[in-house]
Chain A
């Protein structure tokens, strides 16, 4: 029994990966017609993006402020407080903004997506569409997936800007680092490829988190428990995959 278990887990994992991959391909095919429905797409960008704005902005501000405090304390030991801007900007742009935005996205927009689609499954709405010869993958899943993929880099950019402002708030306004030095050093040391790295990461995280949320919701058991399970799985899987992908992407970029 115990000898079979790892095998069964492995088989289950491979089967799940296969199911997600097939779903991803089908979803990508349906994304083409979904792009031709700007109204539906805008609504989903609004749901996934605009509705996550407050939590992203607040988190960005606090993360930036903590970064300012910690960075200042660390750099002061080496007499390099002026480098606070560089440390904060690079840390935010390349690492913290895409990762934390993705984790927050999984917790807010991802769960909303999974539970919404799961409830549509539980209340026969997806079946009703299938009976009306409307592919729910095209009408429901693809616009939501695309909405998440488009919203993630935008949210990441906003997180970075607010975070940098938070770091500046602490470093310059509270700790007394020179404003001119803070911004000029930041401007001089941050290159376009640093910005691109963060944006590319956020794009990949957007694909992963949205795919997981849509897949879990779409395949949720049509019961209250099933929808709850799909929501939990979305947060857990999206968070773990985000951190895993972050390591892989960082290793590729360095």
Chain B
């Protein structure tokens, strides 16, 4: 395992390559602290995995990077611009260079698959219809759903919806692609396909990828850099192999998926036996 500080020091030489930088970010929601001094960076052309147990704020991190929410402290920089200094127009300009794959696909339900993928193209360009069609069919072919172009989102399975959402996310050829739990609920064939697609887009098109997931084994096969988030901070950082070889009990517990270890499985609660007896007395 490499400590956060040493990873930052090691990556200092690549400062020009840093596409997303999160510095000492604090964020709380509903009175609960999510991040308390989070530090991480995403380098150009690499696949960065953000891992951590459920409820550690992985999706919130994507919301911070896309400026859906603002941190209460610290700095989030994307493409060298501090998001706190960006107005609505600048944020939109930055978002045009990004793609986000939602956990649930978030397809527009009043449009068919083709129109969903064509949506950002129609909104941001004046391309002639034959070119839009070509572009959309190419992306749908890439995710294996060219044949589903006329289906409505309600007719798709969860995995298919996510593949359509992926086609929509890449149709404008973004520089960064953010994936929110891309492997949840996928069958083995789709899973393998999505893994290869993420890798392919990274290698062939040079798209920087940030993959948020807790599927350690899948991520380990494609990630160049990994961050393990726990209790509002980066608990460990390095390559997947480095994390696997970590001597930290908490990191080892997460990487092996063990219920026993320093990371509690149970949400904080009063004494079990005491609470049961208390209910009995009532």
Contact = CB atoms under 8 A, between A and B. Distances in A.
Interface of A: 120, 123-125, 127-135, 139
B95 A124 contact: no
A131 B109 contact: no
Contacts of B124: 133-134
B119 to A, nearest CB: 7
B209 interface: no
A131 B100 contact: yes
Interface string B16-46: 0000000000000000000000000000000
A147 to B, nearest CB: 14
Contact of A128 (B93, B98, B106): B106
A124 B106 CA distance: 5
Contacts of A128: 100, 102, 106-108, 165
Interface of B: 66, 68, 92-93, 95-96, 98, 100, 102, 104, 106-109, 119-120, 123-124, 165, 168
A105 B98 CA distance: 40
The DSSP consensus for interface residues of chain B is mixed
A125 B106 contact: yes
Contact of A131 (B93, B98, B107, B123): B98
Question: Closest 3 interchain pairs by CB?
Answer: A124-B106, A128-B106, A133-B92
Contacts of B107: 125, 128
B104 A132 contact: no
A131 B66 contact: yes
Contacts of B93: 133
A132 B109 contact: no
Contacts of A133: 92-93, 95-96, 120, 123-124
A123 B106 contact: yes
B68 A125 contact: no
A11 B139 CA distance: 51
Nearest to B116: A128
Nearest to B63: A127
Nearest to B122: A134
A133 B98 CA distance: 9
Given A125-B109, A127-B102, 15 more contacts: A120-B108, A123-B104, A124-B106, A127-B68, A131-B98, A131-B100, A132-B119, A132-B168, A133-B93, A133-B96, A133-B120, A133-B123, A134-B119, A134-B124, A139-B123
B123 A124 contact: no
Nearest to A126: B106
A120 B95 CA distance: 20
Contacts of A125: 106-109
A123 B100 CA distance: 15
Contacts of A123: 104, 106, 109
A134 B92 CA distance: 8
B139 to A, nearest CB: 14
Contact of B120 (A120, A127, A134, A135): A134
Nearest to A132: B120
B228 to A, nearest CB: 26
A90 to B, nearest CB: 42
19 contacts: A120-B108, A123-B106, A124-B104, A125-B107, A125-B108, A125-B109, A127-B68, A128-B100, A128-B165, A130-B95, A131-B66, A131-B68, A131-B95, A131-B98, A131-B100, A133-B92, A133-B120, A134-B124, A135-B92
A245 B1 CA distance: 68
A9 B225 CA distance: 52
Contacts of B168: 132
Contacts of A124: 102, 104, 106
A120 B165 CA distance: 15
Contacts of B100: 128, 131
A127 B68 CA distance: 8
Contacts of B119: 132, 134
A132 B123 contact: yes
A247 to B, nearest CB: 38
Nearest to A135: B92
Contact of A134 (B66, B106, B123, B165): B123
B53 to A, nearest CB: 23
Contacts of A130: 68, 95
Contacts of A135: 92
A139 B98 CA distance: 20
A26 to B, nearest CB: 11
Contacts of B123: 132-134, 139
A223 B98 CA distance: 27
